[in-house]
Amino acid sequence: MTDVSSPVWFITGCSTGFGHDLAELTISHGWPTVVTARDKARLADLVAGHDNVLALDLDVTDAGQIAAAVKAAEEKFGRIDVLVNNAGYGYQAAIEQGEEDEIRAMFDANVFGLFAMTRAVLPGMRARRKGHVLNLTSQAGFVGFPGSGYYAATKHAVEGFSDSLAAEGAPLGIKVTCVAPGPFRTDWAGRSLKQTPVTIADYAETAGARMSATAGYSGQQPGDPVRAGEAMIKVVESTNPPRHLVLGELAYNGITGKLKERLAEIEGLKDLSLSADFPK
């Protein structure tokens, strides 16, 4: 059984990007860490020279692999204290040109896979009355940009799910934090982004322009993924972790600006909103 003073981390999507860099940090702390990828051979550098790491094949859209991974993690380390739902990818298209197969495949990974992974880990956390779920969302969980409507929908879905999970989990000692990064230097745009080209001229200056900018952004993003990982660890170590962790200046400015704008709009329509009730 693993020392109770060492948190056991289970991180999905560790082959590259946030998952990989966060795993390097938790491993370097000496914490038991379960690292996963669709092909665990891509995790060899994380495992080499460490006895506190368990590498597993995991496609979060495969219910059988999820069950097997959770069982293997609990058999190896005795429990899962921190679940990091990081696996997922992006798909961009003008709304009108979105392809059904691509949209559903992204929802399977970003939404239904995350839901299933969380359900599989909750029984152990509930039994111990302790656990922390980190869901990687995005600035897109608050702001829908042109060309990213379907991706934003997946991240909005995870935010709503996390609100309910937090309310259900709080009395059971289960904490929930959504991590919302802006642009980070993870090669996400080059590695984990699919696109349907904009061919309708009416969308060239909205969806088309943003998609072109996103595709050419790799290597120039202002966010440092290692610093992001350190921020996630600080949140997990805090006695009162936040429901939201926004990462990066662009995300901070974009999200706070959107929330202020939304609140002002809602408050400006207060009388009209209240008029919808039966008269008192």
Does residue 1 carry a pLDDT above 60?
no
Residue 54 lies in a domain: yes
Residue 154 lies in a domain: yes
Q: What is the pLDDT of residues 44-72, one digit of tens each?
A: 999 999 999 999 999 999 999 999 999 99
Place of tokens 């940009």: 145
Residue 267 lies in a domain: no
The pLDDT value recorded for residue 186 is 73
What letter represents residue 24's amino acid? E
Q: What is the pTM of this model?
A: 0.94
Neighbours of 147 (CB within 10 A): 26
Mean pLDDT of 226-235: 96
Q: What is the CATH number of the domain that holds 77?
A: 3.40.50.720
Beta strands per DSSP E along 38-154? 53-57, 82-85, 90-92, 131-136
Residue 265 lies in a domain: no
Phi-psi region of 167 (alpha: psi -120 to 50; beta: other; left: phi over 0): alpha
Confidence tier at 219 by pLDDT (50, 70, 90): low
Distance, in Å, from the CA atom of 54 to the CA atom of 77, rounded to the nearest integer, reads 9
The pLDDT value recorded for residue 182 is 86
Structure tokens at 109: 């990974």
Q: Residue 148 belongs to what domain range?
A: 9-252
Structure tokens at 193: 């982004």
Query: C-alpha 17: how far from its chain's center?
Result: 12
Residue 260 lies in a domain: no
User: Catalytic annotation on 150?
Assistant: no
Residue 143 lies in a domain: yes
Q: What percent of the chain has pLDDT over 70?
A: 95
Q: Which of 89, 91, 150, 151 is catalytic?
A: 151
Domain count, the chain: 1
What letter represents residue 179's amino acid? V
Residue 266 lies in a domain: no
Residue 172 φ/ψ, nearest 5 degrees: -105, 5
Average pLDDT over the chain, rounded to whole?
94
Q: What is the pLDDT of residues 68-91, one digit of tens each?
A: 999 999 999 999 999 999 999 999
Neighbours of 185 (CB within 10 A): 17
Mean pLDDT of 190-207: 90
Q: What is the pLDDT of residues 137-155, one digit of tens each?
A: 999 999 999 999 999 999 9
DSSP string, 109-162: IIIIHHHHHHHHHHHHHHHHT-EEEEEE--GGGT---TTBHHHHHHHHHHHHHH
Neighbours of 235 (CB within 10 A): 16
Q: Give helix 63-77 / helix 113-128 axis angle, nearest 10°.
A: 30
Does residue 207 carry a pLDDT above 60?
yes
Distance, in Å, from the CA atom of 163 to the CA atom of 243, rounded to the nearest integer, reads 8
Contacts of 158 (CB under 8 A, 6+ apart): 85, 110, 111, 114, 135, 137, 141, 178
Mean pLDDT of 21-29: 97
Residue 269 lies in a domain: no
More confident call, 190 vs 223: 223
What letter represents residue 250's amino acid? L
